[in-house]
Amino acid sequence: MADWDGIRAPDANEIEAMARAALVTLPARFAGHAQDVAIRVAEFAPDDVLDELQIDDPFELTGLYDGIPVTEKSVADQPEGPDIVWLFRRPLLDEWAARGNVTLGELITHVVTHELAHHFGWSDDDIAHIDRWWE
């Protein structure tokens, strides 16, 4: 039996570090645009976001892109802040534990890549066609 004494779940800073490491793995043609996106980690998505997305269980949302996709940006846009990839720590940790077949770093890399795909203007259907992760 594993000895879990002294073991703790990664905190927000460690999750963010894993997400930043994921950015390094992006193909060069995407890396530049990805550097313009901020990474933020919260325990859960806010209730208003869950309501807007019609998600009842906060554990169902591991990440979210908040911004204007590069395919829709205009020089007339006056952004209030940077585009953001949000990572939700508790849902990520729960999914990682439930899966049991990937590392936390692999899961975070997948979620960051998925959310960045929205930054590049891809729809969920486009992403699902290319990325079969969830099957």
CATH architecture of the domain formed by 12-68+81-130: 2-Layer Sandwich (3.30)
Helix residue ranges per DSSP H, the chain: 12-24, 28-34, 47-52, 89-99, 104-119, 124-130
At residue 80, the pLDDT reads 74
At residue 118, the pLDDT reads 83
pLDDT digits (tens, 9 = 90+) for 23-51: 887 777 777 777 778 999 999 999 999 99
- Indicate the residue type of 19: A
Q: What torsion, rounded to 10 degrees, do the Cα atoms 68, 47, 39, 97 define?
A: -130
pLDDT digits (tens, 9 = 90+) for 57-106: 999 999 999 988 777 776 666 667 788 999 999 999 999 999 888 999 99
Q: Of 48-57, 76-85, 120-129, which gets the smallest average pLDDT?
A: 120-129
